[in-house]
Structure 1
Amino acid sequence: MDWIETLIVVVHVVIAVALVSVVLIQQGKGADAGAAFGGGASQTVFGSQGSGSFLTRMTTLMAVVFFVTSFSLAIFAKQRAEVAGEAGIPVLQESSSAPVQAEQVPGIDGAVSDKAGESDLPDLE
């Protein structure tokens, strides 16, 4: 099962880089692909319609794959956390935000000692 997760991580990273690249290649709504190269629209790399529909389809496809890999990685992480919790491995959990009271700590009675600065521990010198 680990090799599947590794494969999905690799695909996820490659798709992320490709998605960023395709988005950066696209031109704004007001710009023509033909105007950028100084030629007519029929001389563009992607045909007479320009690069709009091809790049839009590629962006959509890559975005769908990116979301699927993200969702798959989230499922793997959840399963791994459940297995770790069942095995007794400590998993980070939410802690209460209430401050600890002196009564909750064993050995502390809440009273102020009149031996300021002195310790009840034996000297090790």
Structure 2
Amino acid sequence: MNTLFLVVVVVQVLAALAIIGLVLLQHGKGADMGAAFGSGASGSLFGATGSSNFLSKSTAVAAGIFFVATLGLTFIGNHHVSQSGGVMDSLPAAAPAPAQQAAPAAPAAPADAAKPADQSNQIPK
């Protein structure tokens, strides 16, 4: 399963780099105006029709591969069988704490301290 995960990650990274490169190679709509006035650069590498059709389709294919790889990584991540129950299971077992002596009991409070204070003096006038 780990090898499959690694292969899908490599495919996703290569598709992302291909998308970046293909987008940077494409020309914007403003470049067609310069080609119309005789620059002639649009027909030199990809033929007379220009590079828009080839590069657009290549970008769409790379984007499709990227999305499929992303969905594959999501599927692998959600269906990954963990070897242990959780993160805390890998910690070493703690030794039991040594028994401590009981603290001495607090002295008993006076009986009148436990009575509630006179509430009639507390009300603002």
Per the normalisation by structure 1, the TM-score is 0.60
Q: Deviations over 1:14-42 (max 9, x none)?
A: 1101101111111112313983x93265x
1:72 is matched with: 72
2:85 aligned with 1:88, yes or no? yes
Q: Deviations over 1:58-78 (max 9, x none)?
A: 010000000000000000110
The 8 Å contact of residues 15 and 66 in structure 1, kept in 2 or not, is answered as yes
The 8 Å contact of residues 34 and 50 in structure 1, kept in 2 or not, is answered as no
Decide which structure has the larger Cα Rg and report it: 2
2:68 aligned with 1:50, yes or no? no
Distance 2:46 2:34 in 1: 10
Q: Secondary structure at the match of 2:31?
A: coil
**Runs of 4+ with >6 A deviation:** none
2:15 aligned with 1:15, yes or no? yes
Q: Tell me the matched-pair count.
A: 87
Alignment identity in percent? 37
Residues 40/4 of structure 1: CA separation in 2 closer, same or farther (3 Å cut): closer
2:119 is matched with: none
1:3 is matched with: 3
Distance 2:41 2:74 in 1: 47
2:112 is matched with: none
Structure with higher RCO (Cα < 8 A, 6+ apart): 2
Per the normalisation by structure 2, the TM-score is 0.60
Any unmatched runs of 5+ in structure 1?
92-125
Distance 1:21 1:10 in 2: 17
Aligned-residue offset at 1:11:
0.9
